[in-house]
Structure 1
Amino acid sequence: MRPDLPLAKRVTPPILLAVLVAAVAAIPLLSNPWFYYWDDSAAAFAPGWHTIGERLLSGSWPTLLPEMWAGGNITAEALYGTYNPVLLAESILVALVPDLAIGMMLVKMQFLALLAVGVYVLARQYGATRSMAFVAGFAMPFAGYTLYFDASTWASGLIAFAWIPHVWWSARASALGRVNPLVPILFGVLAMTSGNPYGAVAVGVVYLAVIAECAAVRLYPGIRSLIVSAVAIAMMSLIVYLPLAFTTGVSVRTQTGVSNDNALRPGLGDLLNLSALSNQPYLPIFDTPAATVPLVYLAWFLVPLAPWIRWGSLRRLGRAGVSLAVFGGIYLVLLLGPSDLWLFRWPARLIEYGQLPVVVAAAVALSAGLARDRWKQRLGISAGLILLQFYLSWANIPDDIGIHLAALAITVALTSIALIVAVHAPRLLGGALAAGVVVVLAAQTNLWFIGNDNVTPWKFPRQVAFLEEHFGDRYPGTTFVIADRENISEDDPTGQWSDILFGSLYQPAGVRAVNNYAGIGFKSFVEALCINYYGGVHCPDGVSRLRAESPGTGVSWLDAMRIDTVVVQNSGPYGATQALDALPADEWSVRTEHVVTVGTRTESRPWPNGRLSATTPGLEITSDFAATDIRETVAYTGSGTATFALLAWPGWTATVDGDAVDVIASPGGLLQIQLPDTGDRESTLTLEFIPPGTTLGLALAGAGLVLALAQGLWFAVHRRSRAYRAEDVLHHR
C-alpha cells in the first residue's frame, strides 16, 4: 500500500473488504446451518473454547482440566491457543453466545475477514491496484480447501493461516524500514501461538522467502533485522509447543520418520485445477476414495482468463518477486511430498499456503489489464482450457455429470461477462470478478457441495440451554459413556443427541464426562478402556473393561476413576438393556431408557472433597482436598501407594512435607504416589500441575520480549536513516 495516499483511501478498501467477506461468508448457511459447526469444529473447538471461556470468566486461566481426562490437557493440545490473547478473547465470546454454532460462525467470520485483509495488503505491497488486490483478498477465503476444511471443520488451520499474509507484508515492510519490527513480531507471535504447527512452519517460510528477497536486492541491513525478529518470535512462541513436546511420551501422537499412504496428498495435476468449480480430486481422504468438495479450487477466473492476463507485467516486480517464488516453491515441494513427514500429516493441509503467492501474483498481473490483441487466438485457448477443466472434473467423478455441466455453463457465462466488461468498462473488471466469486460460492455451497462429507458432519445440538436441559442433572458426577457413532442408524443420524453425545459436547452440557475429544490422548489409558479420539467406545466389552481391575490399583476402573454414572448405548454391541446387570445392586441403581441404559452409584465414596480413589493397606488418610484443577493436598499417616482419579500427565509434581517424591503412572495411566512412612506423625502430600517446559518457555519468552523491545527501540531511534538507505537500494536494484 502506498503510504503517500490519504488515510481514508488506504483504510476504506480493506474495511469494506472485511465487512463484505464476513457478510458473504453467511451464504453457505442458507442451505446448511451447521456449515461452520462441522466435524472437529463441533466436536472439539466449540465445546473446548466454551469451557475455556467459562473458566476465564470465572477468574481462572486453564492449563489442565482433569475432569476431561484424555482430552483435558489443553496446554499440551496447543490448538486451543491458551497462550494467544486473541483466542482467549474468542473463547470468552463462544462462552457468552448461547448458540455454539453461532459462536463458531462469528469466530470464523472474523478470521476469514482477517485473511482477506491480509491478502489485500500483501497484494498492494507487491504492486497490485486497489481493485485487483480487493479481488485477491475476496477470493482467498472462499477457496476450496480454505472454506470446506479450515473454515468449516479445522478451525485452528484457518486461524493460523489468516495471520500469515500479515506476517508476510509486515516482514517485508520491516525489512525496508517502513514499519517497526514490532509489527511483524506481533503478527508472527499471534500466528505461532495459535498452536497450529502448520502456521508455525509458515512463519518460518515467510521469513526465509523475505530474507531471500533481501539478499537478491542486496538489502543486507534488512536481513539482519529479519533474523533478529525471527529469533524473537521463536523465543516468545516456544512456550506453546514445549508442553506438547514433553507430553508425546504418553500421547497417542508419537509418529516419526517418513511414510506415504497417499492420504490427502494431491498430485501435480490436481493442483493445476485452480479454477475448476466442480473438480473433486480422486485421492484417499479418510474413509472415502475421493474428495467430496472442490479441494484445490482457488478462483474461477484464473485459468479461463489466463490467456488474457498480461503475465509479462510481473517482470516489473524485478527481484522483489523472489519472495513469491521462494514461498511458492517451498510449498510446492511440500505439497508433492509424502503423506507423513515427522509429526506433519496430509499435504493437502498446505494447499492454501501454496495458493497464497499464486493469488497475489495474479492480482499484480491483472492490474495491468487484460490483453486485447490476437483475441481470436486467446479466445480459442480460453475455450480449450475451460473444456479441459470440465473433462478432468468429469473424469474424476463421472456420476456428477449434471454438476459438471452446470459448472461449465457458469464458467462460460462468467468468463464471457468478464471479457465484455474488460473491453467496454475495464474499470469495472474487478467488480465483475468479485461478483463471480459470489455466484460460484452460492452454487458450490447451496447446490452442489452443501457440506464436507469427507469428515464427520455430527449435526450436534447447537443451543447450550438444550444441552443443559437434556443432560445437566440426568448424568450426575463423573460419567463414563459407552457408545459409538457407528451404532447410530444412518436413517436417523441425529436421533440420539438427546441421550448421548460425542467429542467434548458433554462439557457445555454440564456433565463431567470422561469421554471427550482428545487430539493427543493418553495412550495407555485410552487403550485400556478402548476410547477413540472423539470419545467413542468401539469395543463390545466396554462394560467388562470398566468392571475389571485397573492394573496396579487393586480396585476396578469404576472405583479407580471415581465413576458415579455409567451410560450405555442400547443400539451398540455392549449388551443392550442388560449391559449393566452385573453391577452390584447394593452399590448401583440401574434404569433403562429408550436409547440408553444408565447406572448410577448409590453408595457414597470416601474422600468426597478430592480425587484420591484407592490406597494400599497401611496407609491412613486423614483428609483429601482438591483446591483447584491443578492442586490437591492429602493428609495421611503410615505409608503406601495412593492412587488418584487423575491421569499422570507430565507436569504433575508431588511433595511430602516439602520434600519431593516421585509421581508415577499405573499401567493404565492413573497418577500414583508412593507415600513414605511418617510413623504416627501426620504428613501432608501436595500435588501440583505445571505444564512441562513452562519454566524454560517463560524464560525464553521473557528474553524474546526483551529482544523484540530492544529491536523496536533501535528502529525508532534510527528509523529515518535506515528507511532512506532501503529506498535507495530499491531504486537501484
Structure 2
Amino acid sequence: MREAETEPGSGPRSRRASLLWCLTACVLAAGTGLARVLGDARYFFADDTQAGATGVWYAQGQRLLDGDVTLLDPGSWQGGNYLAEGQWGLFSPIMWVVSLGSTVTDDLVLLAIAAKVPFLAVMAGGVFLLARSFGASPAWAAVVGFTVTTAGQTTYVDATSWITGLHGAALLPWVWWGLRRHLVHGRGPGAYFLSAGLMITLGYLAPVLMLVLLFAVLLAESVLRRDPRGRTVRVLLLGVYSGLLSLLVFLPALLSAAVTSRERGILNTMLLTTDLGDVAVGSLATALPTVTWFNGILAPSPVAYLGWFLPLLVVLLVRSWRSVPVTVAVMTAGSLFLLLAPSDLGPLRFPLRMQPYVVLGLGLMFAVLATKAAAERSWTVAERRLVRVLLGLVVVLAVSAVPANADWVLLGAAVQAFVQELVMRSWSADRPVASRPLRVPAAAMAVGVVLSAMTMVQAPTSPMPDHGLPGSIDDYDDLAAGGEHGILTVGDWHALTDSDGFDEAVFANAWYLTGWDSSSVYTVLRFPALADQFCAGFRGETCADAYDAVLVPGDEGRPLADELLVNTIVVVRDGITTRPVPPAGWSLETGDATWIVRRDVPVERAGGVLRAEGAEVSVVRQTGSEVVLQVDDVDAAGGRVVLSRLDWPGYRVSGPAALATPERDFLLTVDLEAGSTGREVVVSFRPPGWAVEVGAGIAAVVLALAWTVGAAVVPRLRRARDEPVAVDAA
C-alpha cells in the first residue's frame, strides 16, 4: 500500500471531530485504568513496582534534590552500578519527574497511580494519532486507541508491576507517529526527537528493539521505492540520533557484562511464554490462557487478551490485505515472532512483554481496514458467517484450555458477539445511517468499557504478587534492622510477607526507603564472584548457609562480613531452625520473624579503604565514584590498597599506582609504586566507554536541536527570499 503524503482530516471541522474522539479514547483509557483501584486499592502497587521501582524513585529523588549525579553506589554492592542496571533511568526526564514526586508525597501507592494511569491516556492518544496518519477515521482510530490500552499484558502486568514496560509501550506509538509526521507528511522532526528521546532514556529494551525493526523497514522501503526528497538520508540520520542515544543508555551494561551473570543462552523454561492457542483465545477478553506464571500455575488473569476485534480483522484481511501498510504488517509480524519466542533469548526474557506491540500492530490494521469497510458498505453474508464461526471456535479453544473458566468465556463471548454483529450489520447496509453515522464505533467503545468492567469482576487484582510492603515512606523509618549502614539479608524474604516481618526488615529496593545501605537490594545483573559466595539472588535472597558463609573467616583469614563492611545481618527465621550464634563482637536480637545480628562497634560505610598492605594511606576525599588517597608511607617494594568496592569495569587510577588483580576476585585493589610517599592517588569510576557514551549523548542532542531549529527556520528564509520585492514606480 502506497501511503498518502498528506495528513487526513485537515479542515477545522475535521480537526475538532478528531480532537473529540481522541479525548474520548484518552479519558476512557485513564478512567477504566483508574477504576481498577475500586477492586484493589493497591492494584498499581504490585511486585516490581513495590519491591523495585518505588525504592529507586525515592533514592533518585533524594539525589536530585541534593544535586548528586553519582553513577555508582558502593554500599549497594552488586546493585549499585546504576547505568549498567539500566532500569534506574538516570537520563530519563520521565523518571526524574516521578522520582521528584517521591519527595512531595509520602504515599507510595498514590505515587504509583500517578506515575502509571496518565500513561494509559498517553498510549491511547499515541495510537489514535498513528492510526489517523495511516488513514483511519477518527472514530475507528479512537476505538483502537482505547482498546489497545485494555490488552492483557498492559492491564495486568505492565500497569501493575513493570512500569517501564508501560511507559515504553505508551511512547512507541508517538515515536512512530513522529517519524511518519516528518517522513510522510512533511512536518518538522521535533515530535520524533522528543518522543524517541523520552522512550530510549527509559532504559527498557523491548520498545527500542521495535524501533530498530521500524527503522529497518523504513530504510528498506525508502531504498526500494527510491523515494524523492532525500527520504533515505533522513531515515538514516533519524536512525543515527536513536543509535547515539541508545549508546548512552545501553552501552554501559553491554561493556560490563563480562563480570555479571546476565543470561546469554537460548532456552525455554515456559515461563511467561505464549503459543498460537494463547494468541487465538486472545480475541476473548475473559478467556484465561495457558501461560505459565511465576509460581508454576497457569496465569489467573486474562493476560493474553489482544482485542475483541480479531475475528473481524481476520475477515478484513482476507478481503483487503493489500490495504494494510507494509510497515504495519512487518512490525506486527516481528513483534508476534518475539511474542512466540522461547522464554530466554540471551538477555531477553519473558516473551509476554512483547504483547503490547503485537496489539498495536493488530489495532492499526483494524483501524485502517475498518475505515475502508465502513466506506464500502459491502459486508457479505458469507463474511458475517465466518466471523461467527471464528468466534465460536475461539470459545471452544478457551473452554478447552481452562474448563473452570467456561462461564466467563461464554459471558464475554456473548458481549463480543453483540458488538461484532452490530459492526457487521452497519457495514452491510446499503447506505450510511444519516441520523447517527457514528453510533457503531461509539457502541464499540462502550462495549470495550463493559468488557473491562467484566474483567475487573473476573480478576480484580493483579496476577503479579502484592508482597505486603508498606505503602507509606514514613513506615520505613522505624525498621528494627535499621540504624546503621551495611545490611545483609540471610534466608528467603518471602516469609516476611506472611507475617509482621516488615516491621523488622524489608527486601530488594525497599531498603532504599529506609535510608540505610544494604547489599541485599534488587539487581538484574548479579556479580558472580561475590554473589556465589553466599548464593545471593536477584532480590537479595540467600540460602540458609549464607550466615556461616558471611561470618566464618575464609582462606584469607577474614570473614565476608568484614570485606562487605556488614554491620547488620538479618536472618529470616522461616525455614531456618537453628538459632544463629553471634561471634565475638556481635550481638543477637530476636524478633517475631527475624533474628538480627549486629556488630557491637559498627564499621564505616562502604566505598573507602578496607586495608593497606606494605603502605599507610589516608582518605582525602570520597564519593560514590571516586576516592582520593594520600600515601603517608610505602615500603621499598611498593604497597597494595584494597577498597570496599566491587571491581566493576570502568575504574581507573591516576598517580603513582595501578589497578591490580581484584582481591577475592571481586574487591577493587590498587598497587602503589615504591617511592610514592607524600603523593596522592585518585581512584575514580566512569562507566566503560564513558567518553563514547557522553559524546554520543551530546551528539544526539546537538543533532536534534540543529535539525529541529533548521526545519523551522529554513522554510521561512526561503519564503522570504522568494517573495517579490516591491518597487516604487515613482
> TM-score, with normalisation over the residues of structure 2?
0.88
Asked whether 1:685 is paired with 2:681, we answer yes
- TM-superposed CA distance for 1:384, in Å, is 2.6
List alignment gaps of at least 5 residues for structure 2: 1-6, 720-730
Partner of 1:731: none
1:693-724 superposed Cα distances (whole Å, 9 cap, x missing partner): 2111122233334444454455446659999x
Q: Following the alignment from structure 2 to structure 1, what is the Cα–Cα distance between the partners of residues 626 and 285?
A: 54
Q: Following the alignment from structure 1 to structure 2, what is the Cα–Cα distance between the partners of residues 511 and 58?
A: 17
Task: Note closer, same or farther for the CA distance 1:223–1:105 as it changes in structure 2 (3 Å cut).
Answer: same
SS of the residue corresponding to residue 216 of structure 2 reads helix
- TM-superposed CA distance for 1:335, in Å, is 3.2
1:262-281 superposed Cα distances (whole Å, 9 cap, x missing partner): 44332233223332123333
Q: Following the alignment from structure 2 to structure 1, what is the Cα–Cα distance between the partners of residues 627 and 424?
A: 71
Q: Following the alignment from structure 2 to structure 1, what is the Cα–Cα distance between the partners of residues 594 and 605?
A: 30
Which range moves more in the overlay, 4-13 or 73-82? 4-13
Which of 338, 343, 347 does residue 343 from structure 1 map onto? 347
- TM-superposed CA distance for 1:143, in Å, is 0.5
Partner of 2:450: 439
Matches within 5 A, 1:21-32: 21-32=29-40
Partner of 1:727: none
SS of the residue corresponding to residue 232 of structure 2 reads helix
Asked whether 1:561 is paired with 2:564, we answer yes
Is the contact made by 2:282 and 2:306 (CA closer than 8 Å) also made in structure 1? Answer: yes
Task: Note closer, same or farther for the CA distance 1:416–1:94 as it changes in structure 2 (3 Å cut).
Answer: farther
Amino acid across the alignment from 2:532: E
Amino acid across the alignment from 2:625: I
Task: Note closer, same or farther for the CA distance 1:274–1:209 as it changes in structure 2 (3 Å cut).
Answer: farther
Is the contact made by 1:94 and 1:104 (CA closer than 8 Å) also made in structure 2? Answer: no
- TM-superposed CA distance for 1:323, in Å, is 1.2
Q: Following the alignment from structure 2 to structure 1, what is the Cα–Cα distance between the partners of residues 652 and 550?
A: 28
Matches within 5 A, 1:282-681: 282-303=290-311, 305-306=312-313, 312=319, 321-368=325-372, 377-415=382-420, 425-444=436-455, 446-453=456-463, 455-471=464-480, 474-487=482-495, 493=498, 495-537=500-542, 539-549=543-553, 552=556, 554-573=557-576, 575=578, 578-579=579-580, 581-584=581-584, 587-603=585-601, 605=603, 608=604, 611-612=607-608, 614-615=610-611, 617-621=613-617, 623-624=618-619, 627-635=622-630, 636-639=632-635, 640-655=639-654, 658-662=655-659, 664-667=661-664, 669-678=666-675, 681=677
Amino acid across the alignment from 2:51: A
Q: Following the alignment from structure 1 to structure 2, what is the Cα–Cα distance between the partners of residues 589 and 310?
A: 71
1:453-497 superposed Cα distances (whole Å, 9 cap, x missing partner): 3x44323211111122335x8442321122313545xxx735422
Q: Following the alignment from structure 2 to structure 1, what is the Cα–Cα distance between the partners of residues 315 and 242?
A: 42
- TM-superposed CA distance for 1:374, in Å, is 7.0
SS of the residue corresponding to residue 40 of structure 1 reads helix
Asked whether 1:274 is paired with 2:271, we answer no
Is the contact made by 1:22 and 1:113 (CA closer than 8 Å) also made in structure 2? Answer: yes
Amino acid across the alignment from 2:690: T
Which range moves more in the overlay, 70-79 or 705-714? 705-714
Asked whether 1:244 is paired with 2:239, we answer no
Matches within 5 A, 1:692-711: 692-711=688-707
SS of the residue corresponding to residue 640 of structure 2 reads strand
Which range moves more in the overlay, 414-423 or 540-549? 414-423
- TM-superposed CA distance for 1:2, in Å, is 3.5
Task: Note closer, same or farther for the CA distance 1:545–1:555 as it changes in structure 2 (3 Å cut).
Answer: same
Is the contact made by 2:147 and 2:307 (CA closer than 8 Å) also made in structure 1? Answer: yes
Asked whether 1:85 is paired with 2:88, we answer no
Q: Following the alignment from structure 1 to structure 2, what is the Cα–Cα distance between the partners of residues 216 and 427?
A: 39
Is the contact made by 2:567 and 2:602 (CA closer than 8 Å) also made in structure 1? Answer: no
Identical amino acids, percent of aligned pairs: 24
Is the contact made by 1:568 and 1:574 (CA closer than 8 Å) also made in structure 2? Answer: no
Is the contact made by 1:637 and 1:683 (CA closer than 8 Å) also made in structure 2? Answer: no
SS of the residue corresponding to residue 252 of structure 2 reads helix
- TM-superposed CA distance for 1:112, in Å, is 1.8
Amino acid across the alignment from 1:438: V
Task: Note closer, same or farther for the CA distance 1:2–1:415 as it changes in structure 2 (3 Å cut).
Answer: closer
- TM-superposed CA distance for 1:405, in Å, is 3.2
- TM-superposed CA distance for 1:604, in Å, is 5.1
Amino acid across the alignment from 2:454: A
Amino acid across the alignment from 1:75: L
Q: Following the alignment from structure 1 to structure 2, what is the Cα–Cα distance between the partners of residues 549 and 456?
A: 38
SS of the residue corresponding to residue 505 of structure 1 reads helix
Is the contact made by 1:79 and 1:194 (CA closer than 8 Å) also made in structure 2? Answer: yes
SS of the residue corresponding to residue 392 of structure 2 reads helix
Is the contact made by 1:75 and 1:240 (CA closer than 8 Å) also made in structure 2? Answer: yes
Q: Following the alignment from structure 1 to structure 2, what is the Cα–Cα distance between the partners of residues 551 and 182?
A: 60
Q: Following the alignment from structure 2 to structure 1, what is the Cα–Cα distance between the partners of residues 317 and 242?
A: 38
Which range moves more in the overlay, 336-345 or 687-696? 336-345
Is the contact made by 1:278 and 1:393 (CA closer than 8 Å) also made in structure 2? Answer: no
SS of the residue corresponding to residue 84 of structure 2 reads helix
1:530-552 superposed Cα distances (whole Å, 9 cap, x missing partner): 21101111x22121011123565
Q: Following the alignment from structure 1 to structure 2, what is the Cα–Cα distance between the partners of residues 421 and 509?
A: 60
Is the contact made by 1:515 and 1:536 (CA closer than 8 Å) also made in structure 2? Answer: yes
Q: Following the alignment from structure 1 to structure 2, what is the Cα–Cα distance between the partners of residues 703 and 308?
A: 48
Is the contact made by 2:379 and 2:424 (CA closer than 8 Å) also made in structure 1? Answer: no
Which of 217, 232, 241 does residue 232 from structure 1 map onto? 241
Amino acid across the alignment from 2:561: L
Is the contact made by 1:189 and 1:237 (CA closer than 8 Å) also made in structure 2? Answer: no
Is the contact made by 2:315 and 2:386 (CA closer than 8 Å) also made in structure 1? Answer: no
Is the contact made by 2:486 and 2:605 (CA closer than 8 Å) also made in structure 1? Answer: no
Partner of 2:232: 223
Q: Following the alignment from structure 1 to structure 2, what is the Cα–Cα distance between the partners of residues 64 and 437?
A: 46
Is the contact made by 1:122 and 1:166 (CA closer than 8 Å) also made in structure 2? Answer: yes
Amino acid across the alignment from 2:646: L
List alignment gaps of at least 5 residues for structure 1: 724-733
SS of the residue corresponding to residue 532 of structure 2 reads helix
Amino acid across the alignment from 2:592: H
Asked whether 1:51 is paired with 2:56, we answer no
1:76-129 superposed Cα distances (whole Å, 9 cap, x missing partner): 111221112222222212343312222122111232222111100000111111
Q: Following the alignment from structure 1 to structure 2, what is the Cα–Cα distance between the partners of residues 248 and 609?
A: 27
Q: Following the alignment from structure 1 to structure 2, what is the Cα–Cα distance between the partners of residues 292 and 625?
A: 57
- TM-superposed CA distance for 1:137, in Å, is 0.9
Amino acid across the alignment from 1:326: V
SS of the residue corresponding to residue 528 of structure 1 reads coil
Task: Note closer, same or farther for the CA distance 1:180–1:306 as it changes in structure 2 (3 Å cut).
Answer: closer
Partner of 1:34: 42
Amino acid across the alignment from 1:632: V
Partner of 2:4: none
1:253-306 superposed Cα distances (whole Å, 9 cap, x missing partner): 0514x4444443322332233321233332434442533322331222332x45
Amino acid across the alignment from 1:459: G
- TM-superposed CA distance for 1:418, in Å, is 5.7
Is the contact made by 1:164 and 1:191 (CA closer than 8 Å) also made in structure 2? Answer: yes
Is the contact made by 1:652 and 1:663 (CA closer than 8 Å) also made in structure 2? Answer: no
> TM-score, with normalisation over the residues of structure 1?
0.88
Q: Following the alignment from structure 1 to structure 2, what is the Cα–Cα distance between the partners of residues 266 and 250?
A: 32
Amino acid across the alignment from 2:11: L
Task: Note closer, same or farther for the CA distance 1:604–1:89 as it changes in structure 2 (3 Å cut).
Answer: closer
Task: Note closer, same or farther for the CA distance 1:572–1:641 as it changes in structure 2 (3 Å cut).
Answer: farther
Asked whether 1:4 is paired with 2:10, we answer yes
Is the contact made by 2:501 and 2:594 (CA closer than 8 Å) also made in structure 1? Answer: no
Task: Note closer, same or farther for the CA distance 1:308–1:692 as it changes in structure 2 (3 Å cut).
Answer: closer
